[in-house]
Chains A and B, each alone.
Chain A
């Protein structure tokens, strides 16, 4: 008879605990929109933070709540936007595919050094003490951007400048934040012409420091006055859509090659 006691007590205990679990499930349950899970699973899961939220999951929560735009994930692009829009039953916002481009052509050869730099080999550290290059706007060659890129879309080219792998770039903006000189900018993939210089020094002095610096001569802005202006000793593209294709050869007469087509001498790795 004694053998039944443990069976009985264990059975009673398990019944008690299961009732507790049932109670917890019924009363303490937090309702979560199943769409969050659904959207979250479809996101790229890079947790890169490009959307402005703490990670993919946080973005999914925000987009379901309506705080974030359906096109908020630049990494996912059109596909993800469409998926989110379908899941939420709204019309998808238009996605403009963007790519990060470096605004500098100060290669090892073109841009002169200030002296022998003996400090820590990162761009930020060099930038703190004025930089290892004479030009105080240009690329410092240490590759903080390459280390920051979570998608392997950047590598250090032989000339000393980071090269963007267009097919891998997701426009997450990590390189934009990593560059202490703000040389990266996200441009629509359809934009063909960009300015490859950020130097706001006067023409004569920037030319002395770097062979490929914009000297603000104005050839480009004369060719296309409604789209390109000279501001702070630097050419600036106001609206790339207004640049007519037949004007491109004229723009590319730039004496220092500091403005032109991105793909003219593309060197993809």
Chain B
């Protein structure tokens, strides 16, 4: 069968065997959860509770104030221990609510279940999604309600459901596709109704044939199709996925809206269904716990706010040689410095490895491999040099802001140059300069 794909990219070893065949296991809620009020792309939510308050499971504890924000809900029932700054996986302290679990999972009011969710109006769907605090579960945590509200002048024709999971080691989306395919499709249908799109396309990499077969069978009831994609990194990156499936190019600095597309991760599609049908806010998610230093790798359904420590403990703990702890996938994940960090909505995996052999950085040998593999067709080595010598204007002219930080260039670089770090530095400098000029 011919598979679709995009030009360039890399194919790192997958290492998915250790968790691929393990069914999603529900982890018992921990004694204490710490729920950051910033778990999404945008401004932090405003706390609605105070120290000493009793909260119920799924009670809203943080209200998203602006458009680019999302509400946060309690993932256990119990007493609020503190509302204070707490370390966030991104490296900075953000306001967070710590709740002591009473173990009863009490729910205050009856959840607002929708009898016939497919007959709801687009506004009602969006409102329910916003109320449930659903964000993109692929990792970037973009508020889903925003994604479901396309501007009037940009008609949407296709909803793409992203089932690529191109990051090595991670298998949470794959398991979700095997175990919750109906919910995913129903969520996709709701997203289709909310945006007024005509069809649904589900893109699945060809190393997940089982999931593809299921979806090929089930999607017959919906307007759309399942498409097999080549196993390649970053197949699941929004812009590359759109190009691979429909050969449409998202314009520079633009969003998929501009080419009539909305992309949702499979996890997000399920969360949309849960939010609209069951009225269940996003307070738990599936994560993969894996890596050489995890004793018993697994796919877990974890409550938001559970510390990495309890999750790892549940998976048999860390082996002696553990040295690197990463949240997310190995290519784009963020290295963590403490086990107290809580699981947030954007956590797709927790990975741990022994220390890598030391890698010396050499000068660029102009081999051009980074250019050959950059999925955004940029020139990473040149961008890194421009940033290094502070020539930001040229860096911007050469498209530094188009970089999606997928890490292909750094993965392939024979000189071990931290290209992504340089590019991120350049992007940050350019953006802060712009902000200074017109605040």
Binding site for B on A (CB under 8 A): 114-115, 118-120, 122, 124-125, 128-131, 134, 136, 200-202
Set B85, B337, B424, B429: member contacting A201, Cβ < 8 A: B85
Complex interface: chain B residues within 8 A of A202 (CB): 84-85
Are A128 and B428 in contact, with the CB atoms below 8 A?
Answer: yes
Set B334, B337, B421, B422: member contacting A114, Cβ < 8 A: B337
Are B93 and A124 in contact, with the CB atoms below 8 A?
Answer: no
Give 7 nearest A-B pairs by CB, closest first.
A130-B91, A114-B337, A125-B425, A115-B337, A119-B421, A120-B421, A129-B91
Complex interface: chain B residues within 8 A of A134 (CB): 337
Chain A proximity of B293: nearest CB distance (Å): 14
A201 to B84, CA, bound (A): 9
Are B425 and A130 in contact, with the CB atoms below 8 A?
Answer: no
A130 to B18, CA, bound (A): 31
Complex interface: chain B residues within 8 A of A114 (CB): 337-338
A129 to B333, CA, bound (A): 11
- Say yes or no: is B362 at the interface (Cβ < 8 Å to chain A): no
Set B93, B335, B424: member contacting A115, Cβ < 8 A: B335
Nearest residue, chain A, Cβ from B334: A129
A34 to B44, CA, bound (A): 56
Are A124 and B91 in contact, with the CB atoms below 8 A?
Answer: no
Set A118, A119, A124: member contacting B428, Cβ < 8 A: A124
Contact flag A124-B425 (CB < 8 Å), given A115-B337, A119-B418, A202-B84? yes
A130 to B428, CA, bound (A): 13
Complex interface: chain B residues within 8 A of A125 (CB): 421-422, 424-425
Nearest residue, chain A, Cβ from B358: A118
Chain B proximity of A243: nearest CB distance (Å): 30
Complex interface: chain A residues within 8 A of B84 (CB): 202
Nearest residue, chain B, Cβ from A119: B421
- Say yes or no: is B92 at the interface (Cβ < 8 Å to chain A): yes
What sequence of 0s and 1s flags, for each residue 308-352 of chain B, a beta carbon within 8 Å of any chain A beta carbon? 000000000000000000000000001101100000000000000
A35 to B393, CA, bound (A): 35
Chain A proximity of B204: nearest CB distance (Å): 32
Complex interface: chain A residues within 8 A of B334 (CB): 129
Complex interface: chain A residues within 8 A of B335 (CB): 115, 129
- Say yes or no: is B67 at the interface (Cβ < 8 Å to chain A): no
Chain A proximity of B435: nearest CB distance (Å): 13
Are B418 and A120 in contact, with the CB atoms below 8 A?
Answer: yes
Are B425 and A120 in contact, with the CB atoms below 8 A?
Answer: yes
- Say yes or no: is B255 at the interface (Cβ < 8 Å to chain A): no
A134 to B336, CA, bound (A): 11
Complex interface: chain A residues within 8 A of B425 (CB): 120, 122, 124-125, 128
- Say yes or no: is B3 at the interface (Cβ < 8 Å to chain A): no
Query: 26 A-B residue contacts at CB 8 Å?
Result: A114-B337, A114-B338, A115-B335, A115-B337, A119-B418, A119-B421, A120-B418, A120-B425, A124-B425, A124-B428, A124-B429, A125-B422, A128-B421, A128-B425, A128-B428, A129-B91, A129-B334, A130-B90, A130-B91, A130-B92, A134-B337, A136-B92, A136-B93, A201-B85, A202-B84, A202-B85
Complex interface: chain A residues within 8 A of B418 (CB): 118-120
What sequence of 0s and 1s flags, for each residue 358-385 of chain B, a beta carbon within 8 Å of any chain A beta carbon? 0000000000000000000000000000
Nearest residue, chain A, Cβ from B325: A115
Nearest residue, chain A, Cβ from B82: A202
Are B428 and A136 in contact, with the CB atoms below 8 A?
Answer: no
A136 to B85, CA, bound (A): 11
Chain B proximity of A116: nearest CB distance (Å): 9
Are B424 and A128 in contact, with the CB atoms below 8 A?
Answer: yes
Contact flag A120-B422 (CB < 8 Å), given A129-B91, A130-B92? yes
Complex interface: chain B residues within 8 A of A118 (CB): 418
Q: Which residues B69-95 have CB closer than 8 A to chain A?
A: 84-85, 90-93
A122 to B338, CA, bound (A): 23
A118 to B85, CA, bound (A): 27
Nearest residue, chain B, Cβ from A137: B93
Complex interface: chain A residues within 8 A of B85 (CB): 200-202
Nearest residue, chain B, Cβ from A115: B337
A124 to B421, CA, bound (A): 11
Chain A proximity of B138: nearest CB distance (Å): 20
Chain A proximity of B130: nearest CB distance (Å): 29
Chain B CB count within 10 A is highest, among A114, A200, A202, for A114
Chain A proximity of B309: nearest CB distance (Å): 16
Nearest residue, chain B, Cβ from A129: B91
Chain A CB count within 10 A is highest, among B90, B91, B338, B418, for B91
Apart from A120-B422, A129-B421, 5 more pairs, CB < 8 Å: A114-B338, A115-B337, A124-B429, A128-B428, A134-B337
Chain B proximity of A223: nearest CB distance (Å): 28
Nearest residue, chain A, Cβ from B359: A118
Nearest residue, chain A, Cβ from B427: A128
Nearest residue, chain A, Cβ from B89: A130
Complex interface: chain A residues within 8 A of B337 (CB): 114-115, 130, 134
Complex interface: chain A residues within 8 A of B93 (CB): 136, 201
Chain B proximity of A134: nearest CB distance (Å): 7
Complex interface: chain A residues within 8 A of B429 (CB): 124
Chain B proximity of A153: nearest CB distance (Å): 21
A134 to B337, CA, bound (A): 8
Chain A proximity of B86: nearest CB distance (Å): 9
Complex interface: chain B residues within 8 A of A124 (CB): 425, 428-429
A158 to B428, CA, bound (A): 30
Complex interface: chain B residues within 8 A of A129 (CB): 91, 334-335, 421
Complex interface: chain A residues within 8 A of B428 (CB): 124, 128
A162 to B335, CA, bound (A): 28
A110 to B145, CA, bound (A): 46
Chain A CB count within 10 A is highest, among B421, B424, B429, for B421
A120 to B387, CA, bound (A): 12
Are A131 and B91 in contact, with the CB atoms below 8 A?
Answer: yes
Chain B CB count within 10 A is highest, among A115, A125, A128, A130, for A130
A134 to B424, CA, bound (A): 21
Chain B proximity of A103: nearest CB distance (Å): 18
Complex interface: chain A residues within 8 A of B338 (CB): 114
Nearest residue, chain B, Cβ from A200: B85
Chain A proximity of B362: nearest CB distance (Å): 15
Complex interface: chain A residues within 8 A of B422 (CB): 120, 125
Chain A proximity of B426: nearest CB distance (Å): 10
Chain A CB count within 10 A is highest, among B90, B335, B422, for B335
